[in-house]
Amino acid sequence: MAAEGSPERSGLQIGASVKTDFHGEYSFRGVRPGFYKIVLNLYAPPTAESPYRTTYWPAADNERAAPTIEINADTTSRQCDFRLPPAMKGAPVKVVVLQPDGTPAQGANISIIVNGAYLPAGSARTDGSGELSFVALEGFEYTVNDIFTFTAKMAESVRFSAADTNRPVIVRLISKD
């Protein structure tokens, strides 16, 4: 969650980010006086661990519809209960990376982009079978953007969505030479 400051009123353009704790509670400490909006998943796309679209407190889909809260010198605490929207549905997807000779690309670093933004993990490695698995959420387009190995590279980006998860996404590398 992030507290997003209003630049017109408080001068703060990007506020603090926090994660909920084991009890689902969150708090921002040391917040300067100003007007703020509380927003879920503003800087990161939804993932299997946090399958929620960007939502503004208390239950708005966009910044314009979201109310502001004021923090001033007299504010000691403000409780803002946040009801999560329904979790997005997802499906497991398997990405298989093959070397130019058709053998598995073991330990290849893969960068995956979702709707044009890098996933929070940034990149992940393939296992001994040249495979990487994760959950693709419905309504998003994923792109295998780059794969790093010492001897091979991608010929072109590969796109897929949760609807394509009934078969592996296969990426065949070409020689760097």
When comparing pLDDT for 13 and 49, which is higher?
49
Residues 21 and 59 in one domain: yes
Residues 18 and 35 in one domain: yes
- Whether the pLDDT of residue 112 is over 50: the answer is yes
Residues 105 and 153 in one domain: yes
* CB of 55 closer than 8 Å to CB of 39: yes
Q: How many Å apart are CA 30 and CA 79, to the nearest integer?
A: 15
**pLDDT at 139 (0 to 100):** 86
CATH number at residue 133: 2.60.40.1120
pLDDT digits (tens, 9 = 90+) for 153-170: 888 888 888 887 788 989
36 three-class SS: strand
Residues 29 and 110 in one domain: no
Residues 98 and 82 in one domain: no
When comparing pLDDT for 146 and 171, which is higher?
171
Residues 115 and 64 in one domain: no
**pLDDT at 130 (0 to 100):** 93
Residues 51 and 96 in one domain: no
What b-and-e string marks burial along 51-90, b requiring 16 or more CB atoms within 10 Å of the CB? bebbbbbeeeeeeeebebbebeeeeeeeeeebeeeeebeb
For residue 18, what are the domain limits? 1-87
**pLDDT at 140 (0 to 100):** 85
* Highest averaged pLDDT of the listed ranges 46-55, 102-111, 144-153: 102-111
pLDDT digits (tens, 9 = 90+) for 29-80: 777 888 888 888 877 778 888 888 888 988 888 889 999 888 888 887 778 8
Residues 79 and 103 in one domain: no
Number of domain units in the chain:
2
**pLDDT at 3 (0 to 100):** 53
Residues 95 and 44 in one domain: no
When comparing pLDDT for 96 and 146, which is higher?
96
